[in-house]
Chain A
Amino acid sequence: QKTFIGDQVLRITVNNEEQLALVSSLQEQEHLNIDFWLEPSKPLLPIDIQVPREHVQSVKALLEFNGVSYSTLIEDLQALMDEEEKEMVLSHHKER
């Protein structure tokens, strides 16, 4: 089973077409293995990306270098999934 330990979800806000193109180009860099949760569309609309742990620092550095603002929505994706699984297990054992 695939795990997501240390994967982060970043919310990116681009201010202009140039920044939009930069973030869109991350889709083509397959080695980064970035999963776009909300696709790039137009400036000021949020873009959410799931970044594997090993690329978190480099992606953040790239955004910062280019003046693209972002925030971290999910610090550790696996921690949320563990919570989700715990809830499902609890629910199975709950008396109806």
Chain B
Amino acid sequence: NSQTFNYASYHTLDEIYTWMDSFVASSSGLVSKLQIGTTFENRPIYVLRFSTGGVNRPAIWINFGIHAREWISPATSLWFANKLVSEYGKDSSVSSLLNTMDLYLEIVTNPDGYSFTHTNNRMWRKTRSNHAGTSCKGVDPNRNFDANFGGPGASGNACSSTYYGPYVNSEKEVKAIVDFVTNHGNFKSFIDVHSYSQLLMFPYGYTSTKPKDYNELMELSKKSITALASVHGTKYRYGPILTTIYQSSGSSIDWAYDQGIKYAFCFELRDTGRYGFILPANQIIATAEETYVGLMEILDHVRLNPY
């Protein structure tokens, strides 16, 4: 069950889905599980909703593991979810946050891909969809959003790991997020958690134009990574996607920002390359601990700066 679950280990999709049910059951009504869609291979796509009540409260979205091989992201999300429940009613930041806003966590954003990394190819990044005209499977879901779709920093080659797909939102996993966030209509923050390379980024990736909230997002990023570094000394770089790593079109946070969600961020968790996607399990807890602190800086700011 969620109390005895080993958060210091990597887990299969089935184990995570089983954990979700026991986690919800033991959360005293604070957490519920919603299905927001199904994957190409017909797996359910779940979101955990943290809510203390109210109708259509302002909300925060955080998704983990959109690139299947980045195992540390969903592993961090499990610990994060558990931490929130255990801190609610004790920690003032967590309590204030959940008393005023709803929080949605998409623990495994790309279930088909994640399952594939456990059974067939540990290094798989994309979805597992089939599209006409090619024998190569899968689309990079983080190039499939409606943000300069098909532009520089994405590949039109279906065999490439950064293939943007045949059309915007062609991936059911992407469409599920887009529909859910759009229909909800009151998200104030959208955070997409990846690994590795220790970065905290905000829009844009598809253009060198600065977002209109550039100064605020820069300051908040600095605050977040400073807090994160205070836990285990892990150093992050920060800034817009394009200048911090590379140009990329069709990414989730660019789409979210263009939808009017000001606090749009993308994390790249540990490490800086010694292990890459094979980050040892003994670093899961430390990664989750520091990420929690970095995330809470952002979430505190979102709560204190309504718009």
Contact between chains at B275 and A38 (CB < 8 Å): no
Closest Cβ–Cβ distance, residue B124 to chain A (whole Å):
9
Q: A38-B273, A84-B281, A91-B6 are known contacts. Are A1 and B119 too (CB-CB below 8 A)?
A: yes
Q: Tell me the bound Cα distance from A9 to B4 in angstroms.
A: 36
| Contact B246–A41 (Cβ < 8 Å) | yes
Q: Does B84 contact A (CB under 8 A)?
A: no
Task: Tell me, rounded to whole Å, the shortest Cβ–Cβ distance linking B5 to chain A.
Answer: 8
CB distance from B244 to the nearest CB of A (A): 9
- In chain A between 72 and 96, which residues have their CB closer than 8 angstroms to a CB of chain B? 73-74, 77, 80-81, 83-84, 87-88, 91, 94, 96
B92 interface residue (CB < 8 Å to A): no
Tell me whether A27 is interfacial, beta carbon within 8 Å: yes
Contact B278 A81 (CB under 8 A): yes
- Chain B 1-39: CB-based contact to A (< 8 A → 1; otherwise 0): 000111011110000000000000000000000000000
- Whether, in the assembled complex, B100 has its beta carbon less than 8 Å from a beta carbon of chain A, the answer is no
With both chains docked as a complex, state the minimum distance between the C-beta of B228 and any C-beta of chain A, in angstroms. Answer: 20
Whether a CB of chain B sits under 8 angstroms from the CB of A11 is: yes
Kindly name the residue among B5, B8, B9 whose own CB sees the greatest number of chain A CB atoms within 10 A.
B9
CB distance from B113 to the nearest CB of A (A): 14
Tell yes or no: B260 within 8 A of A by CB. Answer: no
Q: How far is the CA of A80 from the CA of B274 in the complex (A)?
A: 11
B275 engages A94 (CB within 8 Å): no
Query: What DSSP secondary structure best describes chain A's contact surface?
Result: mixed
Residue among A1, A38, A77, A84 making CB contact with B197, cutoff 8 Å: A38
A87 touches B161 (CB 8 A): no
Asked if residues A91 and B278 are in contact (CB atoms below 8 Å), the reply is no
- Known contacts A41-B245, A84-B278; A73/B273 CB under 8 A: yes
- Flag if B277 contacts A37 (CB, 8 Å): yes
CA A94 to CA B281, docked complex, whole Å: 14
- Ranked nearest first, the 3 interchain pairs of A and B with the lowest CB-CB distance are A41-B246, A91-B9, A96-B4
Q: List residues of chain A with CB under 8 Å of any chain B CB.
A: 1-2, 4, 9, 11, 27, 30, 35-42, 45-46, 48, 50, 73-74, 77, 80-81, 83-84, 87-88, 91, 94, 96
Instruction: Please list 30 pairs of residues, one from A and one from B, whose beta carbons are closer than 8 Å in the complex, sorted by A's number.
Output: A1-B121, A2-B120, A4-B123, A11-B273, A30-B159, A35-B123, A37-B276, A38-B197, A38-B245, A38-B273, A39-B162, A39-B246, A40-B246, A41-B247, A81-B122, A81-B278, A83-B280, A84-B10, A84-B122, A84-B278, A87-B10, A87-B281, A88-B11, A91-B6, A91-B8, A91-B10, A91-B281, A94-B6, A96-B4, A96-B5
Kindly list 20 other residue pairs between chains A and B, CB separation below 8 angstroms, not including A2-B120, A4-B122, A4-B123. Answer: A1-B119, A1-B121, A9-B276, A11-B273, A27-B155, A27-B160, A39-B162, A41-B245, A41-B247, A45-B246, A50-B123, A73-B274, A74-B275, A74-B276, A80-B275, A83-B280, A84-B10, A84-B280, A91-B10, A96-B4
